[in-house]
Structure 1
Amino acid sequence: MSGPKILVTGASGFVGEAVVFRLLLDRKLIPIAAARGATRLNGLCAVVPFELTDSKVLPDLGDVQVVIHTAARVHVMNETAIDALTEFRKVNVEGTLRLARRAAESGVKRFIFISSIKVNGESTVLGKPFNANDFPAPADPYGVSKHEAEEALKQIGLDTGMEVVIIRPPLVYGPGVKANFLSMMRWLERGVPLPLGAINNRRSLVAIENLVDLINVCISHPEAAGNTFLVSDGEDLSISQLLRRMADALGVRPRLLAIPSWMLNLGASLIGRRDLAQRLCGSLQVDISKTCDILGWRPVISVDKALRHLGEQRGPKPHS
């Protein structure tokens, strides 16, 4: 195999691993997996140790042309750190900038940063999606740290000439997904009654296949340099629509109770979980028109097909 070398950080994670597998399938580029700990990529490509918080564990970037930076301290649902913002900054800002400066010094041409839609904010008014040119309004430590990293990376790009590309995905799903999306699948498979049948919000999601395809385009597209892109599947769903279509993909019957959203919000407030109600009942839509117009990109897989892939990966289903 010959071609430009691409370093992918966070290669043992959900997104990073998928990016490396895509590069291996294309066989036009040489991926180098930078991973913290064990990875399934051993033996498939070069694997180097990587630790965002340790300046001594930075990979050699001498012959790397593009860095795809997916490694991060991710959003934590039950944060235990006394000063969460400081902890996020250590990894997502200081660690990212240490890597970016090393990349610029080593002659890396392009640095692709996987940020988060949380840089834009936590929610949107129904029918008024975020776009890439909105004024950033991060509301939690994770979003703040991603925004700070973005701004500092842009400055590094201006100072050094290294091309910086920023991608802000919403919730990413696909085989290997964890956290809330995995919990919803398990609830459906177990036949748990869910009080979400009457929620008429809209949320943008992105299948891992679509995110990885966009990242792949951004490796070489000349118009990607210096730009910030939003990404989604191009179809926004209510939580009830998502659950019904997820259940269909899993081959189970959803048990959705039509509880009004105001009752769910009230109940969540009484138990101190307004954040949970916001994620379930609120809207978060993204406008990907800039991404499509500048890059000529379109989602390569539909929501239903992506969910079917996910259902097939989970194997035989229990009787409903």
Structure 2
Amino acid sequence: MSLQEMGCVLVTGASGFVGSSVLQRLIVDKREELVAVIRRDNAQTPAGVMRAKVESLGPDCQWQSALNGVRVVIHAAARVHMMNDQVADPLTEFRKVNVEGTLNLARQAAVAGVRRFIFISSIKVNGEGTPVGVPYSADAQPAPADPYGISKMEAEQGLRALAAETGMEVVIIRPTLVYGPGVKANFLSMMRWLHKGVPLPFGAIHNRRSLVALDNLVDLIVTCIDHPAAANQTFLVSDGEDLSTSELLRRMGAALGKPARLLPVPSWVLETGAAMLGKNALSQRLCGSLQVDISKTRELLGWAPPVSVDAALRKTAKHFLDHRTQ
């Protein structure tokens, strides 16, 4: 069944990093009927796209008008993971949006006749790290270690139960770290350091980490809109090439035209220093490994990442250079 036969596509979080790129890809693909859920009042809605205004993403949100005529929901909106969350009870706050809010939308979607619900989850459902050469698989036992990962796992569990109850197809996608034009947080800091020529103590890090370029993630999401084999499946997604922190910095530096100045500080020194400063989570991201096996995604969907790591890094670097303010 083609997308045109399936009806409108609704994208939540359509002004966010992933959601906005999904929307732009669907526009380029000339998908005629699109509904964008954009909560920021100052965010622009692309021409030809219907805008749905909702007051919140929580458990009391009313979605009926936004779901009118919709046959596919791509749910990219979420309360996102934050390194230094200041709320008193992070798990409760994550659950309000990521669990209760997601299931509220999904229940109303099922009642409205939505055929497929695509949920953008997180690799944090699997856990925080892997031994080198022992990647996570899509069907492995979940082992989330923080409130964000727990909330995503609980949302997945609720969606699977709802699919069994209602017949609405659910597709779950767990991305690794997503990078691309406009990326924020640690990846942006890394580019700033490299561009300024700051010496970095990561020349002796021999970990392996799976990343996913924004274009590759978006391509998989769009593939899952109408691929029959995607129904009621969970997929991991990455670029298909794992990098050490040292290698990532060197290749990102090359994309920026600024060779990385890396000092060969042993990883145990960095990990000890990070522990003393209470930065264990950051240390895990820089020194630890996290690999994923995307063979199920490749084989079941006939999918392969269309963009290479170096091409994606060059695109990311160009956006950074074109928009940098310091």
Q: Secondary structure at the match of 1:314?
A: helix
Map 1:143-292 to 2 at 5 A: 143-292=149-298
Q: Residue 40 of structure 1 corresponds to which residue in structure 2?
A: 44
Code of the aligned partner of 1:124: T
Matched, 1:11 2:14: yes
- Contact preservation (8 Å) 2:121, 2:174: yes
Which residue number corresponds to residue 57 of structure 2? 52
Indicate the larger mover: 53-62 or 119-128: 53-62
Q: Which secondary structure state, in structure 2, belongs to the residue aligned with residue 201 of structure 1?
A: coil
> Cα distance, 1:286 vs. partner?
0.3
1:108·1:162 contact (CA, 8 Å) conserved in 2?
yes
Distance in 2 between residues matched to 1:20 and 1:287, nearest whole Å: 27
Distance 2:173 2:237 in 1: 7
Q: What is the alpha-carbon distance in structure 2 between the residues aligned to residue 77 and residue 253 of structure 1?
A: 28
1:235–1:270 Cα change, 3 Å: same
Per-residue displacement from partner, 1:139-161 (whole Å, max 9, x unpaired)?
00000000000000000000000
Distance 1:28 1:3, change over 3 A: farther
Deviating 4+ runs (over 4 angstroms): none
Q: Deviations over 1:224-245 (max 9, x none)?
A: 0010000000000000000000
Alpha carbons 2:274, 2:280 under 8 Å: kept = yes
What is the CA–CA distance in structure 2 between the aligned matches of 1:126 and 1:221, rounded to whole Å? 32
Contact kept in structure 2, 1:2 and 1:29, CA below 8 Å: no
Q: In 1, distance between residues paired with 2:50 and 2:59?
A: 21
Q: Distance in 1 between the 2:213 and 2:50 partners? A: 26
Q: Bigger CA drift: 274-283 or 149-158?
A: 274-283
Aligned counterparts of 1:143 and 1:54: Cα–Cα separation in 2: 19
Indicate how the Cα distance of structure 1 residues 42 and 2 shifts in structure 2: closer, same or farther if over 3 A, else same.
Answer: farther
TM-score (norm 1): 0.96
Q: Aligned ranges for residues 89-168 of structure 1 at < 5 Å?
A: 89-168=95-174
Distance 1:177 1:70 in 2: 16
Secondary structure of the corresponding residue to residue 32 of structure 1: strand
Percent sequence identity is: 60
1:21 aligns with 2:27: no
Indicate whether 1:311 and 2:317 are aligned.
Answer: yes
Deviation at 1:189, TM superposition (A): 0.8
1:67 is the counterpart of 2:73: yes
Letter in 1 for 2:313: L
Range moving further from structure 2, 4-13 or 33-42: 33-42
Structure 1 residue identity aligned to 2:21: A
Q: Aligned-pair distance for 1:62?
A: 2.3
Greater shift, 58-67 or 126-135, is seen at 58-67
Write the deviation string for residues 125-172 of structure 1: whole angstroms up to 9, x where unpaired: 000000001100000000000000000000000000000000000100
Distance, in Å, in 1 between the alignment partners of 2:323 and 2:172 is 39
Match of 1:294 in 2: 300
Provide the C-alpha distance between the structure 1 equivalents of 2:321 and 2:282, rounded to a whole number of angstroms.
29
Distance 1:317 1:63, change over 3 A: closer
* Contact kept? 1:247, 1:254, Cα under 8 Å: yes
- Alpha-carbon distance, 1:55 to partner: 2.7
Give the Cα separation in 2 of the matches to 1:316 and 1:13: 20
Deviates more, 1:20-29 or 1:225-234: 20-29
Q: Aligned-pair distance for 1:314?
A: 2.3
Task: Report the 3-state secondary structure (helix = DSSP H, G, I; strand = E; otherwise coil) of the residue aligned with 1:52.
Answer: coil
Deviates most, 270-279 or 38-47: 38-47
Q: Please, which runs of 5 or more residues in structure 2 have no aligned partner?
A: none
- Alignment partner, residue 30 of structure 1: 33
Give the number of equivalent residue pairs. Answer: 318
Q: RMSD value over aligned CA atoms?
A: 1.6
Matched residues in 2 for 1:45 and 1:28: separation?
10
Shift of 1:317: 10
CA distance in 2: counterparts of 1:208 and 1:317, whole angstroms: 18
Q: What is the TM-score with the length of structure 2 in the denominator?
A: 0.94
Superposed CA deviations along residues 38-96 of structure 1, whole A, max 9, x for unmatched, are: 32334341111132126345352121010000000010111111111000000000000
Aligned AA (2:279): R
On the 8 A contact 1:109/1:163 being kept in 2, the answer is: yes
